[in-house]
Chain A
Amino acid sequence: MSNPEQRSNFVFPRWTNYLRPGVVAAVVGGMLYLSVLFGVGASPKTTAVGYAPIQPVPYSHALHVGQLGIDCRYCHSTVDKAAFAAIPPTQVCMNCHQGIKPDSPRLLAVKESWATGKPVPWVKVHDLPDYAYFNHAAHVNKGIGCVSCHGRVDRMEVVRQEQPLSMSWCLDCHRKPEEHLRPLDQITNMSWRPPGNDQKRIGLELKKQYGIRDASYMTACSTCHR
Chain B
Amino acid sequence: MDKPTPQTGKQYWRSLEVLAETPQVRQLIEQEFAGYDPAAIQSMSRRGFMKVMGASMALAGLTLSGCRRWPEQRLAPYSAAPSNRIPGVPEQYATVMDVGGVAMGLLVSSHDGRPVKVEGNPSHPFARTFGGRLGAADAMAQASVLELYDPDRSRQVVQRDGQQSQYSDWEKFSAAAAAAFATLGKAQGQGLAILSEASSSPSVADMKRRLLAAMPQAQWYEYEPMSSDNRRQGTRQAAGRELRDILHLTDADVVVLLDADILASHPAHLRYAADWAARRRQADQGNMNRVYIAESRFSVTGMAADRRLALRPARVMALLEALAQRLGAVGGEAVSLSDEERKFVDASVADLHAAGKRAVVAVGEHLSPRAHALAYAINSALHSGAVRYVAEPGVDRPSHVAAITELTRQMAQRQVKTLLILGGNPAYDGPADLEFSKALGTVPLSIHLSHYDNETSALCRWHLPRAHYLECWGDGRAWDLTPSVAQPLIQPLFGGKSVIELLALLMGEALDGEQIVRRTWQSILAKDDFEKAWRRVLHDGVLREAAGAYVQPQAVQQSPTRSAASSLAGFDLRFAADYRTYDGRWANNGWLQELPDPLTKLTWDNAALLAPADAQSLGVSQGDLLRISVGGRSIDIAACLLPGQPAGVITLPLGYGRWASGSVGTKVGVNTYPLRTGQDMHYVGGATVKRTGRVYPLALTQDHHLLNDVGKQARDARIGSKGQSGLIIRETTLDQYKADPKFAHRDVHGGVHLQLFEPPRKFNDPHAWGMAIDMSSCIGCSGCVVACQAENNVPVVGKDQVLAGREMHWLRVDRYFKGEPADPAVVNQVMLCQHCETAPCEQVCPVAATVHDTEGLNTMVYNRCIGTRYCSNNCPYKVRRFNYFDFHAKDPRGGAKPWPGLPDTQQRQAIDQIKQMVFNPEVTVRMRGVMEKCTYCVQRIRAATSERRIAGQKLMDGDVVTACQQACPTQAIVFGDLNDPNSAVSQLHRNQRAYGVLEELNTQPRTKYLARITNPDPGSAPAPKPGKDHGGH
Interface, chain A (partner B; CB < 8 A): 48, 51, 53, 78, 80-84, 86-91, 113-114, 116-124, 127, 130-131, 133, 135, 137-138, 141-142, 211, 213-214, 216-217, 220-223, 225-226
Contacts and interface: CB of A to CB of B under 8 A. Distances in A.
B861 A89 contact: no
B790 to A, nearest CB: 15
B566 interface: no
B661 interface: no
A91 B81 contact: yes
A125 to B, nearest CB: 9
B86 A86 contact: yes
B1006 to A, nearest CB: 14
B80 A226 contact: no
Which DSSP category, helix, strand, loop or mixed, fits chain B's interface? loop
A91 B857 CA distance: 43
Given A82-B88, A84-B88, A137-B950, A89 B79 contact: yes
A213 B77 contact: no
Contact of A127 (B73, B76, B946): B73
Interface string B60-73: 00000000011011
A222 B859 contact: yes
Give the one of A48, A83, A216 with max B CB within 10 A: A83
A86 B73 CA distance: 15
A61 to B, nearest CB: 15
A133 B859 CA distance: 15
Interface stretch (B375-383, B547-555, B668-676, B934-942): B934-942
Given A133-B942, A226-B942, A78 B87 contact: yes
Given A90-B77, A221-B861, A137 B946 contact: yes
A117 B73 contact: no
B923 interface: yes
A217 B78 contact: no
B86 A121 contact: no
| Chain B interface size, under 10 / 10 to 19 / 20 to 34 / 35 or more | 35 or more
28 contacts: A78-B86, A81-B86, A82-B88, A83-B88, A86-B87, A87-B77, A89-B79, A91-B80, A91-B81, A119-B78, A119-B79, A120-B76, A121-B75, A122-B74, A122-B77, A123-B72, A127-B70, A130-B925, A133-B922, A141-B949, A213-B765, A220-B854, A222-B857, A222-B859, A222-B941, A225-B863, A226-B924, A226-B935
Contact of B75 (A87, A90, A114): A87
Given A91-B79, A120-B77, A133-B942, A216 B924 contact: no
A159 B73 CA distance: 15
A222 B924 CA distance: 12
Contacts of A214: 765
A120 B80 CA distance: 11
A40 B946 CA distance: 36
A114 B78 CA distance: 10
Contact of B765 (A87, A114, A141, A217): A217
Interface of B: 69-70, 72-81, 86-89, 765-766, 851, 853-855, 857, 859, 861-863, 922-925, 935, 938-939, 941-942, 946, 949-950
A111 to B, nearest CB: 11
A222 B853 contact: yes
Contacts of B857: 222
Given A137-B946, A226-B935, A91 B78 contact: yes
A81 B942 CA distance: 15
Contacts of B853: 217, 220-223
A220 B859 contact: yes
Give the one of B765, B854, B857 with max A CB within 10 A: B854
Contact of A82 (B75, B87, B949): B87
A124 B79 contact: no
Nearest to B852: A220
A110 to B, nearest CB: 10
Given A213-B766, A217-B766, A226-B938, A88 B77 contact: yes
Given A131-B924, A225-B861, A226-B922, A124 B75 contact: yes
A10 to B, nearest CB: 28
A53 B697 CA distance: 56
A207 B776 CA distance: 46
A226 B923 contact: yes
A123 B73 contact: yes
Contacts of B861: 221, 225
Nearest to B861: A221
Contacts of B950: 80-81, 137-138, 141
Given A84-B86, A137-B950, A222-B935, 16 more contacts: A81-B86, A82-B89, A83-B88, A86-B86, A86-B87, A87-B75, A91-B79, A117-B80, A123-B73, A123-B74, A124-B74, A135-B942, A217-B766, A220-B859, A222-B857, A223-B942
B935 A89 contact: no
A89 B851 contact: no
A45 B46 CA distance: 39
The 6 closest A-B pairs by CB, nearest first: A220-B853, A84-B88, A119-B76, A89-B78, A89-B81, A124-B73
Contacts of A82: 86-89
Contacts of A80: 950
A135 B943 CA distance: 10
A131 B863 CA distance: 9
A131 to B, nearest CB: 4
Nearest to B72: A123
Nearest to B792: A226
A89 B942 contact: no
A226 B934 CA distance: 11
A214 B81 CA distance: 39
B862 A131 contact: yes
A222 B72 CA distance: 28
A81 B922 CA distance: 17
Contacts of B765: 213-214, 216-217
Contact of B938 (A53, A114, A138, A222): A222
Contacts of B922: 133, 226
Contacts of A117: 79-80
A29 B724 CA distance: 59
A90 B854 contact: no
Give the one of A80, A82, A214, A222 with max B CB within 10 A: A222
A122 B78 CA distance: 11
A222 B863 CA distance: 13
A87 B77 CA distance: 6
B76 A121 contact: yes
B69 A51 contact: yes
Given A90-B80, A138-B946, A216 B854 contact: yes
A53 B86 CA distance: 26
Nearest to B76: A119
B886 to A, nearest CB: 15
Nearest to A40: B67
A116 B853 CA distance: 49
Nearest to B940: A226
A89 B80 contact: yes
B489 to A, nearest CB: 20
A80 B80 CA distance: 21
B46 to A, nearest CB: 17
A104 to B, nearest CB: 19
Contacts of A90: 77-80
Contacts of A53: 72
Nearest to B952: A141
B179 to A, nearest CB: 36
Nearest to A215: B854
A214 B854 CA distance: 10
Contacts of A142: 949
Nearest to A48: B69
A13 to B, nearest CB: 20
Contacts of A118: 79
A162 to B, nearest CB: 15
B652 to A, nearest CB: 43
A113 B88 CA distance: 22
Contact of B924 (A89, A124, A130): A130
A113 B950 CA distance: 34
